[in-house]
């Protein structure tokens, strides 16, 4: 059976090749659109931010607080408040999230896992406005005010705790995926050497999943910094804020400052550079989250390569 | 299933010249290593007595009885799916990690029922170590791989010495002594498997369970592992699962041959024959054993 093979036999179906080409064009177009949108965002932010920074009196960037309508653009106020609130959020989310992840990945019976995992994922989908409202009406009076009698009704503490609740499921699910991805053979090696579960989790699973766990934390931090609604509702200081390091004071984050400016009437009736300052803060925020996300991507890539 | 020492008469060539050659080879090899045929001088250290293993409703292994003697190498052979790994993993309670797995019957270690109440599986695994089919070093340095077990067991002595002696006993020291801080993943497959053996030895178990320890290795690395087993047998009791019958014939003192019964689509493993290796490969008591080994050797 020595039949001659011709090129025609291998040429395939022209229709199929055409279809593949069209699908490819479609995908490339979709990719290009999202890239174009990102570039547009950066350009418009950068343009307005530049017009702000080139016109503003630089000394007004370092004052007693953030009161854009009075020409006081103290950027440190926003950065400090952002850091405090995100920090409190992380202090809540890291132990809770990692604990939940370790429980789900290593301890929960398959049956418990079957309903717990979706529950955590649903938690991750709660709209932040709901959590903001909850932070204001429950965390602030029932938790913060009870522990710290000096606390005001609007505090960075309440907002930070709310943000912590918001990002805990993110830490939990991403870390759990990283821990589940650790090969069973490593656990067997550990148990086979006479390790118990606690040691196996701490000394084998955790280190092997570390880059994924770190990535989950960076993602959560980025989410905490970018969170708007909770801080807008619960941290108070809608019009502006004094520079303060006290978490029991009201405070204004970068995101809340943007929201406050954008929802006000400054765009049409504002004085001078008030509205422009929004773009400057926005650009700052954009760069910070961009840096955090690419950092987290690096970690994720590293952990994909690991075993 | 006789337990009598093999006599030369039993090893005499019957079915064919090839088998006679093989028997001679096995005896010569054993002479080289132990200076004689296995005898009953070694005490039974692990006794599997009517062991059944289930995965949920699935009856994986039916009624296995095997006495394992100290400082001997016991091989488990048989077709795929007959439950060799299942039985092996029930000996150090590794099956506890599989939720659906359940063991019935008695597995005694130095007379103690390993599944009795009050027995801690973690403690069992410190006495009965395990080497797996695929080398599974931790993503840590070579040194930390070895030190892992002793550290968690609260080892107080000189760790450097222990690491060195464990690697030496696993015949790996010379190859890695200059790179103990490097990742274990940088080693070749055969080296990784010897590292896993060294790691198991470092916790000073009494018994080593090896589940096809050489199946992922090339022939030369395989021979090194086999040589290593001869050495280790001076101090340890070894149970090895292998698909490779030449390997079972070369290294083991006694061999258990498992088979699998299929009824109503369910496959249940069963022990066909357990006896001295030289006898099993030359003069098996069961026709089934003979069919299997001749099928493979022929
Ligand atoms: N975790 C498990 N859950 C359910 N069934 C299992 C599990 N592990 C093994 N089995 C089943 O138990 C039977 C015996 O499997 P086992 O792995 O012990 O066979 P084996 O003799 O080691 O085979 P191989 O030579 O292929 O390694 C098989 O039918 C297998 O499908
Ligand atoms: Mg197996």
In order, the DSSP letters of B203-219 are: T--SEEEEESTTTTS-H
> Which residues in chain A touch residue B99, judged by CB atoms under 8 angstroms apart?
109-110
Q: Tell whether A304 is within 8 A of chain B (Cβ).
A: no
Report the number of distinct structural domains present in chain A: 2
Nearest in space to A68 (alpha carbons), one of A225, A210, A254: A254
Q: Tell whether B78 is within 8 A of chain A (Cβ).
A: no
pLDDT over threshold 50, residue B10:
no
Looking up tokens 């069961």 gives B286
What is the pLDDT, as a whole number, of residue B9?
Answer: 45
Same domain, A132 and A20: no
Nearest in space to A258 (alpha carbons), one of A63, A127, A128, A78: A78
* A191 contacts B136? CB cut-off 8 A: no
3-state secondary structure (DSSP) of residue A82? helix
Which helix (H) or strand (E) covers residue A233, if one does? helix A229-234
The answer to whether A218 and A97 have CB atoms below 8 angstroms apart is no
Q: Is the pTM higher than 0.90? A: no
Same domain, A105 and A32: no
Q: Tell whether B40 is within 8 A of chain A (Cβ).
A: no
Same domain, A35 and A78: no
B residues 202-221 lying closer than 8 A (beta carbon) to A: 203
What is the pLDDT, as a whole number, of residue B2?
Answer: 42
- Average of pLDDT values for B64-71? 93
Same domain, A178 and A46: no
pLDDT over threshold 50, residue A244:
yes
Same domain, A278 and A139: yes
Neighbours of B282 (CB within 10 A): 28
What chain B residue is nearest to A305 in terms of C-alpha separation?
A: B139
Point out the least confidently predicted range of A130-144, A182-196, B73-87, B204-218.
Answer: B204-218
- Domain range holding A262? 61-303
User: ipTM of the predicted structure?
Assistant: 0.84
**What's the rounded Cα separation, in Å, for the pair B159 and B170?**
16
**What's the rounded Cα separation, in Å, for the pair B237 and B110?**
12
- Band (pLDDT 50/70/90 cuts) for residue A88 is very high
Who wins on pLDDT, B293 or B257? B257
Greatest alpha-carbon pair distance for chain B in Å reads: 58
**Both tokens of residue A128?**
């932040």
**Would residue A2 count as lying in a domain?**
no
Domains defined for chain B, CATH in brackets:
44-139+209-293 (3.40.50.300)
Who wins on pLDDT, B40 or B25? B25
Same domain, A204 and A229: yes
Same domain, A134 and A43: no
Q: pLDDT tens, A177-224?
A: 999 999 999 999 999 999 999 999 999 999 999 888 998 999 999 999
């Amino acid at each position: 059976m020595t039949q001659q093979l011709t090129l025609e036999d291998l040429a395939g179906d022209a229709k199929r090749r055409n279809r593949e080409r069209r699908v490819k064009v479609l995908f490339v177009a979709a990719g290009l659109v999202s890239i174009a949108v990102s570039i547009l965002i950066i350009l418009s932010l950068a343009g307005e931010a530049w017009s702000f920074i080139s016109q503003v009196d630089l000394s007004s960037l370092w004052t007693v607080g953030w009161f854009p309508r009075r020409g006081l653009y103290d950027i440190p106020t926003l950065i400090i408040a952002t850091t405090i609130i995100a920090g409190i959020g992380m202090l809540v989310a890291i132990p809770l999230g990692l604990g939940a992840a370790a429980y789900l990945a290593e301890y929960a019976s398959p049956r418990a896992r079957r309903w717990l995992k979706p529950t955590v994922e649903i938690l991750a989908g709660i709209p932040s406005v709901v959590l903001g409202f909850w932070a204001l009406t429950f965390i602030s009076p029932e938790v913060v005010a009870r522990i710290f009698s000096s606390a005001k009704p609007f505090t960075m503490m309440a907002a930070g705790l709310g943000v912590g609740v918001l990002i805990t499921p993110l830490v939990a699910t991403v870390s759990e995926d990283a821990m589940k991805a650790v090969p069973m053979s490593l656990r067997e090696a550990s148990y086979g050497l006479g390790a118990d579960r606690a040691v196996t989790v701490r000394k084998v699973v955790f280190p092997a999943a570390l880059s994924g766990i770190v990535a989950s934390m960076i993602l959560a931090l980025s989410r905490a910094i970018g969170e708007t609604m909770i801080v807008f509702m619960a941290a108070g200081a809608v019009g502006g804020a004094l520079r303060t390091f006290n978490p029991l004071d009201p405070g204004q984050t970068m995101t809340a400052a943007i929201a406050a400016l954008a929802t006000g009437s400054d765009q049409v009736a504002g004085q001078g550079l008030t509205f422009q300052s929004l773009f400057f803060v926005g650009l700052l925020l954009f760069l910070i989250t961009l840096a955090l996300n690419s950092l987290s991507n690096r970690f994720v890539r590293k952990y994909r390569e690991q075993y | 299933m006789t337990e009598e020492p093999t006599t030369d008469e039993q090893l005499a060539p019957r079915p064919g010249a090839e088998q006679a050659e093989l028997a001679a080879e096995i005896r010569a090899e054993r002479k080289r290593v132990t200076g004689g045929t296995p005898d009953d001088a070694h005490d039974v250290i692990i006794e599997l007595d009517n062991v059944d293993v289930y995965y949920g409703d699935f009856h994986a292994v039916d009624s296995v009885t095997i006495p394992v003697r100290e400082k001997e190498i016991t091989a488990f052979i048989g077709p795929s799916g007959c439950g060799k790994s299942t039985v092996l993993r029930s000996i150090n309670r590794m099956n506890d990690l599989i939720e659906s797995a359940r063991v019935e019957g008695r597995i005694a270690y130095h007379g103690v029922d390993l599944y009795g109440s009050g027995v801690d599986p973690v403690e069992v695994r410190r006495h009965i170590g395990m080497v797996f089919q695929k080398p599974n070093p931790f993503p840590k340095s070579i040194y930390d791989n070895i030190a892992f077990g002793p550290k968690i067991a609260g080892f107080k002595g000189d760790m450097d010495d222990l690491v060195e002696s464990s690697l030496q006993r696993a015949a790996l020291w010379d190859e890695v002594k200059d790179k103990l801080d490097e990742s274990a993943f940088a080693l070749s497959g055969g080296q990784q498997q010897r590292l896993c053996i060294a790691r198991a030895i470092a916790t000073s178990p009494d018994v080593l369970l090896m589940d096809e320890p050489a199946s992922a290795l090339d022939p030369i690395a395989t021979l090194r592992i086999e040589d290593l087993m001869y050495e280790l047998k001076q101090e340890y009791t070894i149970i090895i699962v292998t698909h490779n019958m030449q390997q079972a014939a070369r290294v083991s003192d006694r061999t258990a041959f498992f088979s699998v019964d299929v009824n109503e689509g369910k496959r249940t493993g069963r022990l066909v024959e357990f006896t001295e290796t030289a006898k099993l490969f030359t003069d098996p008591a069961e026709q089934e054993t003979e069919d299997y080994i001749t099928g493979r050797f022929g």
